[in-house]
Each structure stands twice: as structure tokens, then as C-alpha cells.
Chain A
Amino acid sequence: MTSAKEPLIKIQGLTKDYYSKIVVDNINLEIFESCFAILGPNGAGKTTTILMLLGLVKPSIGTVSIFGTNILNSSGKIRRKIGFLPENVGFYPNLTGRKFLKLITSLRISDRRIDNQIESYLEWSGLEKSYWDNAIKSYSRGMKQRLGLAQAFAGEPKIVFLDEPLSNIDPIGREEFIQKIRLKREEGITVIISSHIIPEIEQLADYIAFIDDGKIKASDKIYELAQIYGFDEYEITRINYNDSMSLKELNELLSAEKGLFSDLPKVLSEKIIFRTNNPEKVDNIILNYKDFNYTPLSGTLSKLYKKIIKGESYEKKE
């Protein structure tokens, strides 16, 4: 097992070529307990990278270590701590949602805990109760996606890989799942998301890796990348009402820190918008308040994407 300071996933020189065409090119990353997003256009190498992390595709060169063990030599004990939702979900069509979830969960944890988990994960998925005992072949694509998300998180995994997780889910369901995945992250589950849908990544990810043509173009904490690429506007949004602290009080707390804000912050009903040159310090403060989410200003990720992936002109801060 890894210690707290060691990365959960260590990727070294990961390369994959098919018939001399390089689809993933020398990726080096360390992923710690967090929500880590891999963002890039279609065909950038996201899915191949995820499949290599899972040991389903063999790297041409390089290694992937999960919990300190090479994934290709890892034991069942380690593999059972991993959940995965593939991009194209498919299940045994004649099994019911409940039975499928029970099967997957029974391959990760012992019997005693399974029964408690099945119904709670079916509920968590938002799948209508009347469908729980129906054959999966009667499910819509969105329903299958919900079941897929439930199976990825069921069985107490420590790391969950999600490949385009919300692509088939309606906008309201998408919002719900963003909250649910965020809660899972807070429970200590490391979530690795591959997507090309920027708004869902913006709301979920702590760390991000931009990938294009199989190469990592940039990788860091989102707010650090924003800072590096010249975006210094951030927002703190209220996501829960569990603590008694109001946004106004939080603003006062932050304003008390000398030189933290570059100019006067705007305090709105649900968020604070501000400029800072020290995003890490803000992050360290906000970490203590679970009701608030701290991200670069909405839309920043889209701008970053354009700069990093599409190479649109920008002045990189030194």
C-alpha cells in the first residue's frame, strides 16, 4: 500500500502505438487522492490512456503503478479496489438492474455487506424503483448510464475511472450526478474522469490534464493552470447549507488575509467572484469549509482549453 504522500497512480513514460501510429506519447503523471480529469478532443488518446491505466490495453512502452504495484501484475485484492465505467456501457440484457449490481458488488466485497449496498446504490443512481427488477434490455441509454455509474461506485472502490460518464444523461440528471460524484470524492474516493465536455469537468475536477495527439499538453491543479495561463479570476460557490457560515462571513474571513485579493471581490447571493495571485492559499482556507466550492471563474476552463489544445494566442504568465 502507498503512504499518504505517495501517489495512488504513477504513470511513467506511457506510450502506445498501433501499427507504428503513436496514439499515446510518453505520458508521465502522478495522481493523488483527488478528482483528476483528462480533457481533450475526440481521438486525443483519452480512452486509450484510461484503458492502459486499467491494464486492459498493454502499453508499448512505460508502466502504470496503482497503489504502488504495476497494474499488469496486480493481484485481485488491488483490482477489487477499482471501479470503471466505460464510454459505451453494455450489460447482460436479460439480467435485472438489481441482479447486475449484486453481481458486480459480489465481486468486490463480501456477502454480508452486499445487501445493504445494492438498494442504496440503485437509489443513488436515480434509476426509477419500478425498473430495478426489470431486465436491462428494457432500459433506455440514460438508464443504462445511471446503472453503469452505480456499478462503478458500488463495492467500496478506492479509485473509480469514468470515461465520458454523463454523456447520455439529461441536463437535470447531469447536475445531480455532478453533486453525487463530488460527494464521493469528499468521502475519499479518487475519481478519474475522461471527458470532452468542459462544464462537467469544471465543476468536478481538482486536477486536470489536457491531452491532444496522445501528448499531455498541460497538467496541474485547475486554479494553478488558470494562473499560469493568465486567468486570475476565481469564484467560490455555495454547494451546501450544512455549516452556519454565510458567503458574506467567508468573504470577510478571506479579506482579512493581507494581499489575498488583487481587487475588491464581488459578493453575490450564491457566490463570491474575486481576483487573486495566490490561488493555493485560498484553496487551503476553503478546504476547511465543505459547503463551498472553489474554482476558476465559470468559463475559464473553456478558455484554457482553447489556449492549450487549440493553440489560440495567449500571453503565458512567467
Chain B
Amino acid sequence: MKRKNKINSSLFYEKNLFSFYLKKRILSIKFILCILFSILISFSQSTFGRTISSQYLDEYIFWQKFLGVFSLTIFPLYFPIIISADIVSGEFSNKSAMIIYSMESRTKILSIKLLILIISIFILNLFYFLTFLIIAFIKTGIFVSIHIFLIGFLIIFIEFLFISSLTFMISALTRNTFVSFILPFFYISITSFLEYYELELLSYNSYKMKIISFFENFLFNEQIIFSIVKNISIIIFFGLPILIMLITFYSFKQLDIRID
């Protein structure tokens, strides 16, 4: 009886599924390669002299140069796509979808997959930022201020999460790995064109830049400048990934699951 209660109360079956998916994701070659490449990119951004002040490290090296990489080069943004593209569709392409074999509810399976995705993105981001932190310390003997580091980490994590959620949505709704890879890839690639042709409303990057400038003023100039545009940007920046997830869950629940 005691054993039975333990099984019923402690998400026993969900844990089994979670650990299976987590192992599968973390030990996959593409995830390991993404981590290695992110370390390499982070390493390549860490070229600076030995005698710098703490403020120079925080403001110029970390905030402007390191975080700026995500705006200047789109390369790191492809990693979340690579990690997320097959997360749902991969199972359908080899007809191994757990929804079919395990009979668990699709919301539960999708939630577990989403959790795995967030963990993967977090780990990827952690490697990226920790590499910078460690190399900066080795070269200069000083650490980036913790609050500045955490805010920078959060902004890029949310950006990664947006790209992942977009890819996740396409992966779940189309159940086609190629489509779920190519569409977000295309979106990221045309971001600069959207901004160039004054279609900034469609560019997530433009919202991110407003957030960065807001926090830059707050952290380095100790000014809090709120405006309608900034407020809306903050809402869209943090809210869009959540909205995409909600749409994904709702739409996936309505889907007919067929294996033809």
C-alpha cells in the first residue's frame, strides 16, 4: 500500500519519461557539438588585455562586446534551432512517438519535452557565459559583476528561449524536422533585413536591443527610463516565448496524431 501511494503521488511515470528524454537530449552528438562550438565562440570573444578595470570589463567587454555578439553575428542563435528542431518531429519521422506507444497524455509529453528543451538551452547558455567568465578571470584576475552577469545571462537566455519556442512550435505542429529547422533559420537570417526595411515590429532582435539599452541605462548610468515603446518592448520580449508555448500546447492538443 505504501509503495502504491509512493507511485501515485510522486510523478513516478513522468520521472521515467523525463529521465529518458533528458539522457537522450544531453548525450546527443548535436547537443555536445553545440556546446563545444558555443565554448569556441565564447573563447574567440575573450581577447582583451591584462590591465583593465572592473568597470571596463563590465561595461565594455561584457555588456557591449560580448552581449553585442548576439546582435552582430547570428551564428550562436542557430544553436537553439539545432537543439529544438527535432524535439517533437524527430519522433514522428522515425515513427517512435511516445504519444503512440506510452499512451501518456499529449500535454504531459509535450510539457516534459518543453522542460527538457529549457534545461538544454539553459545548459548551453551556461557553458557560453561561464567560458567567458572564466577566461576573463584568468586573463584579468577580476570577475564580471554578478548582477550585470546575471542580467546579461537572462537576456540571452530569453532570446534563446524565444528561438527555441518558435522552433518547438513548428516542430510540434508540422511534425517535420526539415521545416522546423528551415523556418526559424530563415527568420533569423532575415532579421537584419526586417530592421533595414523598417519592419522592426516583426524583428524580435529589435525588442531585445531596446531591453539591452534599458538595462544599460539602468546598470551603468543608474537611470530608469520608461516609455510606452520600452514598456511594450519589455512585455513582448518576455511575453512572446510564453505566448508561443501556450499556442503550441493548445494547437498540439487539437491535432490528429497519425502515423502513415
Contacts and interface: CB of A to CB of B under 8 A. Distances in A.
Interface of A: 51, 54, 56-58, 76, 79-80, 82-84, 86-93, 103-104, 106-108, 110, 112, 151
B95 A90 contact: yes
A38 B103 CA distance: 21
Contact of A106 (B13, B95, B259, B260): B13
B256 interface: yes
Contacts of B20: 103
B12 A82 contact: no
A104 B24 CA distance: 15
B256 A58 contact: yes
Given A90-B96, A92-B96, A110 B257 contact: no
B94 A89 contact: no
B17 interface: yes
A107 B100 contact: no
B7 A84 contact: no
Contacts of A82: 103
11 contacts: A56-B258, A80-B13, A88-B260, A89-B95, A90-B95, A93-B96, A107-B13, A107-B17, A107-B102, A110-B3, A110-B12
B86 to A, nearest CB: 12
Contacts of A80: 13, 103
A103 B16 contact: yes
A76 B105 CA distance: 7
B234 interface: no
A21 to B, nearest CB: 14
Contacts of B105: 76, 79
A86 B94 contact: no
Contacts of A106: 13, 16
B257 A107 contact: no
Contacts of B12: 110
B258 A84 contact: no
Interface string B101-132: 11111001000000000000000000000000
Interface in B239-260: 254, 256-260
Interface string B12-44: 110011001000100000000000000000000
Nearest to B28: A94
A112 B3 contact: yes
A104 B13 CA distance: 10
